[in-house]
Structure 1
Amino acid sequence: MDHGRRPRGGLEQQVLAALAGAPGPLTPAQVRDRLDGDLAYTTVMTVLARLTAKGILTRVRAGRAYTYRLIGDEAELTARRMRRLLDAGGDRTAVLTRFVGTLSADDEQLLVELLTAAESSTEQG
């Protein structure tokens, strides 16, 4: 077992954190400078390309390079991840039932309120 390896998705999370903490879009070199360790530029480029392909980042040409930024805030990214996991799962009813079963009473009440508000806005719109 290689103890030097990052957990699956760990580097993506580090790149996302670097971009989230930045005051604006970053070049791959700037992302690399914000990360711990000696990563190859090509490794950072690969991660940025994958995150862009997943619809998490957007890139804009800035001179000879591209700059990258998050498409949404942390809440939106988490919601997208949750949706992707739900879509990848088999039995949606079982997944949602288990998810709701793990919620605190406060979170469950908040979910009910959000669903009610969403239903009301759908009926009005």
Structure 2
Amino acid sequence: MTDQNNGGLEQQPRRRGQGELEAQVLAALCKAPGAVTAAWVQKRLGGNLAYTTVMTILTRLHTKGVVVRKRVGRMFEWTAAADEAGLAALRMRKVLDAEADREAVLASFLTALTPGDEQLLRGLLAEASGEGED
């Protein structure tokens, strides 16, 4: 078979979306029976993912405070310190922190919420401030 059969185009692997690989690594850690090695995570993710890529993602997650590592011999064992929702919340905070006008960003965010999400957010805010207590 030659390149002429597919119009001269090579089939490229699908690129992951931003944060998708971090979410996959974190999901694997959340399902782990305890502290696990990078090799364990690599095996759970399958595919052709290089060990060094898994280590890079784990290190980035550690820097973000989403995973915890403990040295065991010459390697690290990793555990999740936050779930996928915690990782999403961290990303949201970083975006907010990067903007000069926090009020404008939050106001824009609120106006884009669906009525159901707005009600959920109001309930969470009331709960966090203690308004829901007797």
TM-score of the two chains, using structure 2 as the length reference: 0.75
The answer to whether the Cα contact below 8 Å between 2:30 and 2:80 also exists between their aligned partners in 1 is yes
How many Å apart are 1:3 and its aligned residue? 4.3
Pair 1:26-2:36 in alignment: yes
Hey, what does 1:9 align to over in structure 2?
Answer: 19
Distance 1:3 1:89, change over 3 A: farther
Shift of 1:96: 0.9
Q: Deviations over 1:34-83 (max 9, x none)?
A: 11311221121111111111211110122332111111233333222221
TM-score by length of 1: 0.79
Whole-angstrom distance in 1 between the partners of 2:83 and 2:50: 27
Percent identical = 52
Q: Mark the runs of 5 or more structure 2 residues left unpaired by the alignment.
A: 1-10
Decide which of 108, 113, 117 is 1:98's aligned counterpart.
Answer: 108
Q: Which runs of 5+ in 1 are unaligned?
A: none
How big is the shift at 1:95? 1.5
**AA aligned opposite 2:119:** Q
Report whether the alignment pairs 1:85 with 2:92: no
CA 1:108–1:50: 2 relative to 1, 3 Å: same
Q: Which has the larger radius of gyration?
A: 2
